[in-house]
Amino acid sequence: MALIEIVTWPTPVLLAPARPVENIDGAFVKLVEDMRETMYAAPGLGLAAVQVGVDRRFFVYDVSEDKERPEFKVLVNPQITAREGTVISENEGCLSVPECRADVTRSARVTVEGADLDGKPVRLDAEDLLALVMQHEIDHLDGKLFLDHLSTLKREFIKRKLKKRIRGL
């Protein structure tokens, strides 16, 4: 297993919808394991394939509170099929938008359908932190960042800050 570089805004793979996973083979499983190691090292609660430069529709995640008992999971070709309620995801951040955080309006509950690492269908009725992580990671797979949920003024302020950091100012 190896750590993978996490790409940052404005890398093009982050800004376009990801292609579906068509084959779960040995190379795919190795990529998942490398992403697992990368997510925990970052540290993060989730990591979408596009965040490591891979144009495929899947992500890894772990929202367990007990880090001694990780609950690592993979969701392949996920889609949100239902949304309910509204909540503010306070101080949301992203590994691909380092050192930037903001409050984001999200759905309080979501139903997500996809597949697991064995290709078996999965349906999750998520709320609380899990619902927020599902929405954040699926946004990545849809070519969106948490910045896209902010007001134009706030989004442009953060983008100017990121551009300055990229230029080394």
Question: What is the per-residue pLDDT for 169?
Answer: 56
Is this prediction's pTM over 0.85? yes
Active site residue: 68, 71, 137, 156, which one?
137
In whole angstroms, what is the distance from residue 156 CA to residue 164 CA? 12
In whole angstroms, what is the distance from residue 115 CA to residue 155 CA? 33
137 in active site? yes
Question: What is the per-residue pLDDT for 27?
Answer: 95
Question: What is the per-residue pLDDT for 66?
Answer: 78
Taking 70 as the pLDDT cut, the residues of the chain under it are: 169
User: Where do the domains of the chain lie, and which CATH numbers do they carry?
Assistant: 12-167 (3.90.45.10)
